[in-house]
């Protein structure tokens, strides 16, 4: 029996493998007027990455590999082209059984307000399933006039090069600005990295950035968020307007969490005495496996994080916040928030963005726009 291709029946599910744009001009996003956010020295490093390779290698092998995954990376620009093309070069392609390829290895496109006050999803640059080293994709705009755009990088894939294509003769200028604030820094686990959003823009940090108009750095590392001294020391040196700690999921035991959680808070707070500091306990509260255990383990872990919060408040910290992970995936559809009991789907990430975003909105509302 011949292989069945759903695109033969439903053309809406067809993925173009060739770009039909005879007047196409490709531009390297490492060159002006493009602006790249959320990645480490993107204009000079040979590969897009989230932190220095030598530092990542000294943290762990997991962080070394995952630092090359481009979660949180964004490129902004504006154009009046009737279409936008991307051409991406990847050294490898990540496939998961529980996360769409559009999320792990795809890019997506948002239309931004010129002043950066709003950003709305337009389309996903959908990758072919059988690609091996990158792909090309075209998205029609079908709206006349110059518009500002954000393209989100993949959540779980390395990227060597990215080119953006527009129609020949089109305007090509800088994109919308973020607020005049340092980035929000997020540290944590696979959930922090973005597993398992359907496309990159639906990772909760990207949602919050769009809602608040604030840049961010995603330092989530699947199975590798352990608050090692090298990692913490690196993060203390980053410029940041807020810090979000969400690595409960990866702490090997409650004892490991106890030995590292408040210690990390102290290190960040010493270098950044006035920024909002948010502590989150694990959202997969009842998820039971040999790695993190079920509700009993979650209770012990939450007590550790709550104790860190209370100690910080007792020391006079008036800008520290605690979010109870058990209460993130709740409500009428609280059981519909994950793909496997642990990793959020898009609904799960929305609930993360609402709770964390509400705290950040209150904290940053009086900062300079």
Mean pLDDT throughout 90-94? 95
Which residue segment(s) compose the domain that 326 sits in? 184-364
Last residue in a domain, options 123, 139, 173 = 173
In a domain, 369, yes or no: no
In a domain, 219, yes or no: yes
Last residue in a domain, options 139, 173, 207 = 173
> In terms of Cα–Cα distance, which of 194, 206, 199, 239 is closest to 112?
206
CATH number at residue 266: 3.40.50.1110
Q: Are residues 105 and 243 in the same domain?
A: no
Three-class SS state of 85: strand
Q: Count how many domains the chain has.
A: 2
Q: Are residues 201 and 331 in the same domain?
A: yes
pLDDT for position 287 = 67
pLDDT for position 122 = 98
In a domain, 8, yes or no: no
pLDDT for position 342 = 86
Digit-coded pLDDT (tens) for 30-49:
999 999 999 999 999 999 99
Q: Are residues 225 and 316 in the same domain?
A: yes
In a domain, 344, yes or no: yes
Digit-coded pLDDT (tens) for 283-296:
877 666 555 667 78
> What Cα–Cα distance (Å) separates residue 223 from each residue in 9, 131, 203?
40, 26, 17
**Do residues 172 and 166 lie in contact, with contact meaning Cβ atoms separated by under 8 Å?**
yes
pLDDT for position 5 = 47
Whether pTM exceeds 0.85: yes
**Do residues 175 and 229 lie in contact, with contact meaning Cβ atoms separated by under 8 Å?**
no
User: Is residue 12 over pLDDT 60?
Assistant: no
The rounded distance, in Å, linking the Cα atoms of 128 and 117 is 33
Q: Are residues 140 and 280 in the same domain?
A: no
Q: Are residues 154 and 257 in the same domain?
A: no
Q: Based on the number of CB atoms within 10 Å of its own CB, is 337 exposed (0-12), middle (13-18) or buried (19 or more)?
A: buried
**Do residues 52 and 110 lie in contact, with contact meaning Cβ atoms separated by under 8 Å?**
no
In a domain, 139, yes or no: yes
> What is the H or E stretch that residue 266 is in?
helix 254-271
Q: Are residues 282 and 332 in the same domain?
A: yes
CATH number at residue 71: 2.60.120.260
Q: Are residues 82 and 212 in the same domain?
A: no
Q: Indicate the range of 20-29, 170-179, 207-216 predicted with least confidence.
A: 20-29
User: Is residue 20 over pLDDT 90?
Assistant: no
Q: Are residues 341 and 195 in the same domain?
A: yes
Phi and psi dihedrals of 187, rounded to 5? -125, 135
Q: Are residues 219 and 280 in the same domain?
A: yes
In a domain, 123, yes or no: yes
User: Is residue 1 over pLDDT 80?
Assistant: no
Question: Confidence class of residue 76 from pLDDT cuts 50, 70 and 90?
Answer: very high
Of the chain, the percentage scoring pLDDT greater than 90 comes to: 84
- Stronger pLDDT, 282 or 61, i.e. the higher one: 61
Q: Indicate the range of 13-17, 20-24, 63-67, 75-79 predicted with least confidence.
A: 13-17
The rounded distance, in Å, linking the Cα atoms of 107 and 84 is 12
> In terms of Cα–Cα distance, which of 259, 257, 256, 263 is closest to 280?
257
Q: Are residues 163 and 264 in the same domain?
A: no
Q: Are residues 167 and 248 in the same domain?
A: no
Q: Are residues 208 and 144 in the same domain?
A: no
Phi-psi region of 166 (alpha: psi -120 to 50; beta: other; left: phi over 0): beta
In a domain, 179, yes or no: no
User: Is residue 7 over pLDDT 50?
Assistant: no
pLDDT for position 142 = 83
**Do residues 140 and 82 lie in contact, with contact meaning Cβ atoms separated by under 8 Å?**
yes
In a domain, 6, yes or no: no
> What Cα–Cα distance (Å) separates residue 356 from each residue in 155, 210, 328?
20, 13, 10
Would you give the distance in Å from CA 357 to the centre of its chain?
14
Last residue in a domain, options 119, 153, 173 = 173
Q: Based on the number of CB atoms within 10 Å of its own CB, is 128 exposed (0-12), middle (13-18) or buried (19 or more)?
A: middle
């Amino acid at each position: 029996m011949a292989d069945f291709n759903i695109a033969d029946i439903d053309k809406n599910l067809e993925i173009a493998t060739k770009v039909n744009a005879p007047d196409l001009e490709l531009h390297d996003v490492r060159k002006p007027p493009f602006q790249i956010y959320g990645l480490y020295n993107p204009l000079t490093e040979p590969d897009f990455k989230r932190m220095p390779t030598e530092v990542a290698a000294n943290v762990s092998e997991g962080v070394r590999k995952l630092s090359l995954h481009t979660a949180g990376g964004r490129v902004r620009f504006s154009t009046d082209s009737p279409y936008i093309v991307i051409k991406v070069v990847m050294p490898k392609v990540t496939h998961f059984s529980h996360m769409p390829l559009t999320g792990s290895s795809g890019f997506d496109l948002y239309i931004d307000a010129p002043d950066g006050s709003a950003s709305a999803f337009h389309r996903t640059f959908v990758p072919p399933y059988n690609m091996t080293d990158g792909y090309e994709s075209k998205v029609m705009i079908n709206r006349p006039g110059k518009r500002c755009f954000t393209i989100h990088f993949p959540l779980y894939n390395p990227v060597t090069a990215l080119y953006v294509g527009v129609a020949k003769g089109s305007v090509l200028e800088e994109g919308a600005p973020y607020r005049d604030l340092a980035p929000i820094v997020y540290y944590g686990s696979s959930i922090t990295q973005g597993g398992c959003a359907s496309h990159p823009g639906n990772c909760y940090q990207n949602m919050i950035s769009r809602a608040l108009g604030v840049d961010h750095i995603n330092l989530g590392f699947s199975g590798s968020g352990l608050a090692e001294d090298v990692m913490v020391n690196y993060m203390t040196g980053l410029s940041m307007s807020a810090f979000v700690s969400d690595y409960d999921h990866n702490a090997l035991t409650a004892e490991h969490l106890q030995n590292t959680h408040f210690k990390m808070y102290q290190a960040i707070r010493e270098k950044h005495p006035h920024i909002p500091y948010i502590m989150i306990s694990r959202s997969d509260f009842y998820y039971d496996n040999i790695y993190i255990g079920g509700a009993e383990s979650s209770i012990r872990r939450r007590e550790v994080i709550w104790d860190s919060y209370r100690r910080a408040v007792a020391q006079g910290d008036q800008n520290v916040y605690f979010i109870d992970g058990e209460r993130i995936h709740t409500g009428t559809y609280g059981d519909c928030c994950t793909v496997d009991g642990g990793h959020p789907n898009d609904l799960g990430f929305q609930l993360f963005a609402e709770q964390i975003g509400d705290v950040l909105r209150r904290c940053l509302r009086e900062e300079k726009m």
